[in-house]
Structure 1
């Protein structure tokens, strides 16, 4: 997970861990890594680059026999998925609380 904190979303320049885009991560006894990640928008034009970067970071971070990255565009991302650190980073960068704004507009879903 530390290495994945170096991978930034192209739409919102916050790392994919703190944005809450890591939906599943497993490493089995055979050294095979599986990761299911999302995107902040299903129409993100650089998802191939994102998948490639994630694969490279995992290969550099752990001694993996294989790495499988599944891009999940079905699960809709919301700001409610962000970590507290991600939320604070967003507030510092943009000057407002995206989670509070979401709750005001959408309700606490």
Structure 2
């Protein structure tokens, strides 16, 4: 799924979205962020363990990476934070990177498995 930048620009002028609408926008943005080593977005890859929004537009995300030895482990949470701050209605983002439970192929969506030829 491609992030719709025109829709994004139009929404800059819109009133604050509901929590549910905000989470839809955040998921769309997460689906535009790709793992640095695999050609799959981080949401479908199953790297996002928890995603919450407050009424004030603050996003809390708990995520992992495919391996603790990932070359971008130190910088990737900031990359995710910066992208999510671009979503209309998002007023703050906390990204927590965890290693437990470890990521596994079972976390991937069917679409991601198909994209990687695992089905």
TM-score, normalization by structure 1: 0.78
Q: Which structure has greater helix proportion?
A: 1
d(CA) in 2 for partners of 1:62, 1:3: 11
Q: Report the count of equivalent residues.
A: 93
Match of 1:2 among 23, 28, 40: 28
Displacement, 1:85?
A: 0.5
Displacement, 1:74?
A: 2.2
d(CA) in 2 for partners of 1:46, 1:53: 10
* Structure 1 partner of 2:64: 38
- Tell me if 1:13 matches 2:69: no
- Tell me if 1:57 matches 2:95: no
Written as runs of structure 1 = structure 2, the 5 A alignment for 1:22-37 is: 22-37=48-63
Match of 1:47 among 66, 73, 76: 73
Please list every run of 5 or more consecutive structure 1 residues that lacks an aligned counterpart in the other structure.
Answer: 92-96, 101-109
Please list every run of 5 or more consecutive structure 2 residues that lacks an aligned counterpart in the other structure.
Answer: 1-26
TM-score, normalization by structure 2: 0.72
d(CA) in 1 for partners of 2:61, 2:83: 12
State the SS of the aligned residue for 2:93: strand
Alpha-carbon RMSD across the aligned residues, in angstroms, is 1.4
